[in-house]
Amino acid sequence: MKTMQHSPISTDVDTVAPSRSFWRTPSMTIARLTLESYFRSGWMWAEFVLVLVFFAALFFPFQEDLPYFYGTSNWDLSAIAILGAAIMVRQATSARTYVLLARLSSRASYSRGLMIAAAALRIPIFLFMLLLVLVAHRLINPTADKMFLSALGVLPITILVSVLTVTLSSPIATRLMRILFLVWIAVVLFSISPIFTIPSSVLNILAIVRIPLWPISACYQVSVTGTISLSGILGLLLVAVYIIGLALIAGIWLERRELLLY
């Protein structure tokens, strides 16, 4: 009997095919097209300009240490993530969206594509800020190991913020959902710093609303200390769970949403 031999060409094709099919999935295709449209519109460059603004405001005229850099980066890069994701979703949900959604087997792939696009942009934005402070010598005694570990704390937070912004944007979330989220934020802020005197027992009860923020707090500690412990690892894992959960929730909301009422 003759044994069948596989040619190297066929082996290479089998290896490349799954990679190509991955990039051609509905979610990845929507993410690529969204980033291309965002780039052509010029709004992507506005995010980089905002990075320059924060860099000039926070790092001149004195040098700063790593905890200051990563601590402030959590706030300014998250603010940029909110603004950028909101504009990106607004651009990607025009009247042509109805035609695209009609051709998709699942609307969830559209919301996932928007999230991938918004989250992917957080990486070059962060690297641009990091490059600015390094080239301008704005950091005191930076070390590669601490910078890497601190980056592991910053990036998950900014990615989570961008994904959350996409989830709460129209037409994925309803106005009521956004109001409920803002009410929760208000209660969290009140539990941290009450604007009027209330019994301590009530404050202890209100502290329960801050429990969902613990993973974010753990990631923040990783970013400012440049070290990672068991709580930091658990925080990173839970943030990843949050991101996956938001992707699933956004898909369900968009599937159930009557877009004709949007």
pLDDT of 44 strictly over 70: yes
Q: What is the pLDDT of residue 193?
A: 83
Rounded to whole angstroms, how far apart are CA atoms 167 and 245? 10
Average pLDDT over residues 144-161: 95
Instruction: Say if residues 165 and 243 touch (Cβ distance below 8 Å).
Output: no
For the stretch 171-208, pLDDT in tens is 899 999 999 999 999 999 998 888 877 888 888 888 89
For the stretch 24-35, pLDDT in tens is 788 898 899 889
Q: What is the pTM of this model?
A: 0.88
| CA nearest to 244, candidates 124, 150, 164, 151 | 164
Higher pLDDT, 205 or 149: 149
Please state the three-class secondary structure of the chain as a single string.
Answer: CCCCCCCHHHHHHHHHHHHHHHHCCHHHHHHHHHHHHHHHHCHHHHHHHHHHHHHHHHCCCCCECHHHHHHHHHHHHHHHHHHHHHHHHHHHCCCHHHHHHHHCCCCHHHHHHHHHHHHHCHHHHHHHHHHHHHHCCCECCCCHHHHHHHHHHHHHHHHHHHHHHHHHCCCCCCHHHHHHHHHHHHHHHHHHCCCCCCCHHHHHHHHHHHHHHHHHHHHHHHHHHCCCCHHHHHHHHHHHHHHHHHHHHHHHHHHHCCHHHC
Q: 60: alpha, beta or left, given left = phi > 0 and alpha = psi -120 to 50?
A: beta
Backbone angles phi, psi at 227, to 5 degrees: -130, 155
Q: Which of 19-28, 116-125, 199-208 has the highest mean pLDDT?
A: 116-125
Would you list the domain boundaries of the chain? 26-257
Average pLDDT over residues 87-111: 75
Return the percentage of the chain with pLDDT > 90, whole number.
63
64 beta partners? 139
Q: What is the pLDDT of residue 19?
A: 55
Q: What is the pLDDT of residue 137?
A: 92
